Structure 1
Amino acid sequence: MSDTEHLDLQSVLDDIYAAVEPRRGEGKVADYIPQLARIDPKSFGMAIVTVNGKVFSVGDAAVPFSIQSISKVFTLTLALGKHGERLWKRVGREPSGSAFNSIVQLEHEGGKPRNPFINAGAITISDLILAGHTPREVIGEILRFMRMLADDEDISIDPQVAKSEAATGFRNAALANFMRSFGKLDHPVEHVLGVYFHHCAIAMTCVQLARAGLFLANNGQQPGTGHSIVSRQRARRINALMLTCGHYDGSGDFAYHVGLPGKSGVGGGIMAVAPGKAAVAVWSPGLNENGNSQLGSVALEMLANRTGWSVFGA
Structure 2
Amino acid sequence: MLMKYQQILEEIHKEVVPLLGDGKVADYIPELAKVDPGKFGIYLLFLNEEAYYIGDAHEKFSIQSISKVFMLALTVAHLGEKVYERVNVEPSGDPFNSLVQLEYECGIPRNPFINSGALVITDLMISHLNNPKEELLSFIRELVGQEDICYNETIAASEKACGFKNAAMVNLMKSFGNIKNDVEEVLDLYFDFCSIEMNCNELARAFRVFANHGKGVIDAKRYITESQFKRMTAIMQTCGFYDEAGEFAFRVGLPGKSGVGGGIAAILPGEYSIVVWSPGLNPKGNSLAGMKALELFTTKTGTSIF
What TM-score does the superposition give when structure 1 sets the normalisation length? 0.95
Instruction: Tell me the equivalent position of 1:302.
Output: 296
Pick the aligned partner of 1:62 from 51, 58, 73.
Answer: 58
Q: SS in structure 2 opposite 1:113? A: coil
Matched, 1:129 2:125: yes
Instruction: Tell me the equivalent position of 1:266.
Output: 260
Tell me, yes or no, if the aligned pair for 2:77 and 2:223 is still in contact at 8 Å: no
**CA–CA distance in 1 between the matches of 2:246 and 2:71?**
23
Matches within 5 A, 1:9-158: 9-133=5-129, 137-158=131-152
Q: SS in structure 2 opposite 1:157? A: coil
Tell me, yes or no, if the aligned pair for 1:210 and 1:281 is still in contact at 8 Å: yes
Matches within 5 A, 1:284-303: 284-303=278-297
Deviations 1:145-164 (A, max 9, x none): 11110112111111110010
Tell me, yes or no, if the aligned pair for 1:42 and 1:285 is still in contact at 8 Å: yes
Instruction: Tell me the equivalent position of 1:8.
Output: 4
**CA–CA distance in 1 between the matches of 2:202 and 2:301?**
22
Tell me, yes or no, if the aligned pair for 1:82 and 1:129 is still in contact at 8 Å: no
Q: SS in structure 2 opposite 1:171? A: helix
Runs of 4 or more off by more than 6 Å in structure 1?
none
Q: SS in structure 2 opposite 1:101? A: coil
Quote the offset at 1:22 in angstroms: 2.8
Q: Could you list the runs of 5+ residues in structure 1 that have no partner in the other structure?
A: none
Matched, 1:246 2:237: no
**CA–CA distance in 1 between the matches of 2:216 and 2:169?**
35
Q: SS in structure 2 opposite 1:156? A: coil
What TM-score does the superposition give when structure 2 sets the normalisation length? 0.98
Matched, 1:237 2:231: yes
Q: Could you list the runs of 5+ residues in structure 2 that have no partner in the other structure?
A: none
Q: Which moved more, 1:273-282 or 1:14-23?
A: 14-23
* Number of aligned residue pairs: 306
Quote the offset at 1:284 in angstroms: 0.4
Pick the aligned partner of 1:222 from 216, 223, 238.
Answer: 216
The one-letter amino acid of 2:196's match is I
Matched, 1:167 2:161: yes
**CA–CA distance in 1 between the matches of 2:128 and 2:238?**
32
Aligned sequence identity (%): 49
The one-letter amino acid of 1:300's match is L
**CA–CA distance in 2 between the matches of 1:84 and 1:160?**
33
**CA–CA distance in 2 between the matches of 1:7 and 1:149?**
28
Q: SS in structure 1 opposite 2:31? A: helix
The one-letter amino acid of 2:295's match is E
**CA–CA distance in 2 between the matches of 1:286 and 1:103?**
25
Tell me, yes or no, if the aligned pair for 1:216 and 1:236 is still in contact at 8 Å: no
**CA–CA distance in 2 between the matches of 1:103 and 1:200?**
20
Quote the offset at 1:25 in angstroms: 2.3
Instruction: Tell me the equivalent position of 2:182.
Output: 188
Deviations 1:104-149 (A, max 9, x none): 0000000000000000000000001111556xx2111111111110
**CA–CA distance in 2 between the matches of 1:7 and 1:148?**
31
Deviations 1:258-280 (A, max 9, x none): 00001000000000011111001
CA RMSD of aligned residues (A): 1.1
